[in-house]
Amino acid sequence: MKKTSLVLLSVGVLSTGGLLLEQTAHAEESSVTTTVNAGPNTIKSVDAIEFEKIILNGEEQKAEDTRAAKVAIEDFRGSETDGWTLTAQLKDAAFDGLTVSFAPQITKNSDIATAKAVSLTKSAQEVAGVSDDKIKDTAFDTEVTLNASLKVPANTKAKTYTSTIVWNLQSGPGTGN
């Protein structure tokens, strides 16, 4: 009797398992959608530039920035096609022959962003940028160390000179180089 019960139990388990295998499952699909909107492309911060003190000696002199001034840019647009360009210019001609120059270095995002040496005038000069073809690989943050210097002509008068630098960040096709 034990053998018969065990055989019947085995056949019953196998039959039930076979029935379960023959059942079909019902599946449904659904979609998931979201919209990711572009964020801003902004100048996050600009350090003030302060040059070494100059003592007139009858010769042209050069002074270096004592603060290692930097400009920080945040680009949260998520663009894959439109680069950006950072420009600088003197707001007025109150610098009376003194020349402010930058030998900028990209200190954050240096694999993608580029910088250009410039001498500031009242016209916008490109300081840094990311080209259209590299924007898809860029980091959100770019930092530019300006390495600012000041050329002081020999005939400069003794006084405090102050001017304003206007920074402009442009984005869109063809703006970055």
Residue-by-residue DSSP string for the chain: -HHHHHHHHHHHHHHHHHHHHH------------------EEEEEE----BPP----SS-EEEEBSS--EEEEEE-S--SS--EEEEEEESSSTTTT-EEEE--EEEESTTT-EE--EE--SS-EEEEEE-TTTGGG--SEEEEE--EEEEE-TT--SS-----EEEEEEESTT---
Mean pLDDT of 128-138: 92
Determine contact, residues 126/177, Cβ cutoff 8 Å: yes
Residue 88 counted as domain residue: yes
Residue 15 counted as domain residue: no
Residue 18 counted as domain residue: no
Q: What is the pLDDT of residues 30-68, one digit of tens each?
A: 999 999 999 999 999 999 999 999 999 999 999 999 999
- Unique residue bearing structure tokens 């063809």: 174
Domain hosting 118: range is: 41-171
Residue 29 counted as domain residue: no
Q: Average pLDDT, whole number, for the chain?
A: 87
Domain count, the chain: 1
Q: What is the pLDDT of residues 75-123, one digit of tens each?
A: 999 988 899 999 999 998 768 889 999 999 999 999 999 999 999 999 9
Residue 91 counted as domain residue: yes
pTM, to two decimals: 0.79
Instruction: Name the residue with higher pLDDT: 5 or 104.
Output: 104
Residue 12 counted as domain residue: no
- Specify the CATH number for the domain of residue 167: 2.60.40
Residue 151 counted as domain residue: yes
Residue 86 counted as domain residue: yes
Give residue 84's pLDDT.
Answer: 95
